Structure 1
Amino acid sequence: MITGRTEMAVRAEDYALVLPALFKLGNIRGALITMPHKVTTSALVDALTPTAQVAGACNAVLRRADGSLLGDMFDGAGFVRGVLRKGVQLAGARVLVVGSGGVGCAIAASLAGAGVAALGLFVTRLAPSTFVGEVVMKTEMTAFLSAARARGCAVQAGSDMLFEQIPAYLEFFGFASTTPDALRKLAQLRYE
């Protein structure tokens, strides 16, 4: 079994042939999927979790014991785990999600699963008591987060979502897990 990371640069036009062929190999248990293939992948698997169905995309594929492929989406789980780790109470909260692509929909689905009372799509201003989370990982502190912090808002960077996603991935694939804190100590993030 391959354990570790193997990057595969697959062109979008070839992807629908490559993913099924990859899982014909006997030593492939699963795969993590990145852009631009998350949406396409959801149509190439045998089943989707409810989160992946809502998102219309998946970023993890697991070959089950019967050989069928299960797709799941962990962007939302990683985001919500990061928010909860910061001590923010989501149950009953009013939440604004900006963006309705695969990541935004996955986050909205996970927030709903965490019991938020309302999911807004438009807002004209943020109160200083607002918690602001980001998913972009081009830099640790994006302009959006900097502006929110300047208004007194507590913030979560995109890397927080990443470090919360990895334990969720490991659990999905049936591997021993780790903690986000342990991952942060090992990480060497390099921003463009």
Structure 2
Amino acid sequence: MQPALAPTYDGSTRLFFTIGHPVGQIRMPRVMPAVFQALGVNAAWLTLDIAPGELTAAMTGLRRIRNLDGLSITIPHKQGALAVADRASNRAKAAGAANLLRFEPDGSLTADMVDGIGFVEGLRVRGFEPAGKRVWLVGSGGAGSAIAAALCEAGVSALALTDLDRPRAERAAARLADLYPGVALSAVAAVPDGCELAINASPCGMYEDDPLPFDPARLAPGTMVAEAVMKPPVTALLERAAALGLPVQPGRPMLDHQLVHVLRFFGIHADTGTVLRAIPD
């Protein structure tokens, strides 16, 4: 196989950034050059390290960059991204957070949230259909809230939320209950009975000395254990769960399966197969 050609940038190159803190774990700058090349799009994707509390100030400057088309958002700015937007999709409102911001010609910002869509589609490709399942979700921040909203939309029967900040989990459950009255929603302190899918959507697992977000030994045999953390690709939680014989789902599919939705949000139309084939290992 011939090595991929390095991208060529010029004065017409469109710019995209992923903003977060930290940014060392972010895959988009490695993934997107190959995707853009496969699609014939002249664009570059980089990261911006913006400290907590500084998003609003940073957006003041970013709004003035004429060739900046949009942003993807990661920890800890997803709730803040929704707050700075001038308008938002219903799914971003349901999640209470945004992971995409698009700069409109008039200078305004439109927000969307596709983390949850990618997560659910990744589960389905893995062979796990969420509809009718009882789910436990640990972490109700930006990614967790997005996954929770997408799971409700996919038709789970029950969703229990756990967070170190118990009121945050309670607020997320209440917000979703208003939108999805057919789902049994709750905020809990520990694994609920009958859980068929247990998800870590907290940052625990990004660093080697992190504690496990939960003990998979407390789960029933056959319970699927899924991650939202993407780096490392196999977290200590997944290693422990696999050692116990539980089926596991890593974090990477959540990104891979949302990319086509990210591109469409920014006006770049592509089919899912082309995008997935372009993503480097």
State the match for 2:221 in structure 1.
Answer: 128
Say whether 1:141 aligns with 2:234.
yes
Q: Is 1:10 aligned to residue 50 of structure 2? A: yes
Verify the 8 A CA contact 1:20 1:44 in the aligned structure 2: no
Q: Given the alignment of the two structures, is residue 113 of structure 1 paired with residue 153 of structure 2, yes or no?
A: yes
Amino acid at match of 1:152: G
Q: Secondary structure at the match of 1:90?
A: coil
| Residues 119 and 254, structure 2, Cα contact 8 Å, conserved in 1 | yes
Q: What secondary structure, in the 3-state scheme, does the structure 1 residue paired with 2:84 have?
A: coil
SS in 2 for 1:97: strand
Post-superposition offset of 1:21: 3.1
Rounded to whole Å, the distance in 1 between the matches of 2:91 and 2:106 is 22
- The residue that corresponds to 1:190 in the other structure is none
Looking at structure 2, the residues matched to 123 and 183 of structure 1 have their Cα atoms a distance apart, in angstroms, of 38
- The residue number in structure 1 matching 2:8 is none
After TM superposition, where is structure 1 displaced by more than 6 Å over at least 4 residues in a row?
none
More strand by share: 2
What is the RMSD of the two structures over their aligned residues, measured on CA atoms?
2.2
Give the secondary structure class of the aligned counterpart of 1:167: helix
Amino acid at match of 1:123: V
TM-score by length of structure 1 reads 0.84
Find the partner of 2:126 among 65, 86, 93: 86
User: Which moved further from structure 2: 164-173 or 174-183?
Assistant: 174-183
Task: Give yes or no for contact 1:163–1:183 (8 Å, CA) kept in 2.
Answer: no
Task: State the Cα deviation string for residues 55-94 of structure 1 (Å, max 9, x = none).
Answer: 3221110134554311112221221111011121111111
Unaligned runs of 5+ in 2: 1-13, 16-42, 162-189, 193-217
- The correspondence of residues 155-170 of structure 1 with structure 2, limited to 5 A, is 155-170=248-263
- 2:87–2:110 Cα contact (<8 Å) kept: yes
The 2-side partners of 1:128 and 1:64 are apart by: 49
Counterparts of 1:183 and 1:86 in 2: how far apart (Å)?
A: 19
| Percent pairwise identity | 41
Contact 2:122 2:257 in 1 (8 A): yes
Match of 2:268 in 1: 175
2:102 to 54, 62, 74: 62
State how far apart, in whole Å, the 1-side matches of 2:278 and 2:228 are: 18
Shift of 1:23: 2.5
Partner of 2:77: 37
Offset at residue 183 of structure 1 (A): 4.2
Q: Alpha-carbon deviation of 1:27?
A: 2.5
* Distance of aligned partners of 1:110 and 1:16 in 2 relative to their CA distance in 1, 3 Å threshold: same
Equivalent residues, number: 186
Deviation at 1:6, TM superposition (A): 2.9
What is the rounded CA distance, in whole Å, between the counterparts of 1:30 and 1:100 in structure 2? 25
Letter in 2 for 1:17: A
Q: Contact 2:75/2:142 (CA < 8 Å) preserved in 1?
A: no
Q: Could you tell me whether the CA contact under 8 Å between 2:79 and 2:98 is conserved in 1?
A: yes
Measure, in 2, the Cα distance between the counterparts of 1:14 and 1:93: 39
Higher Cα radius of gyration? 2
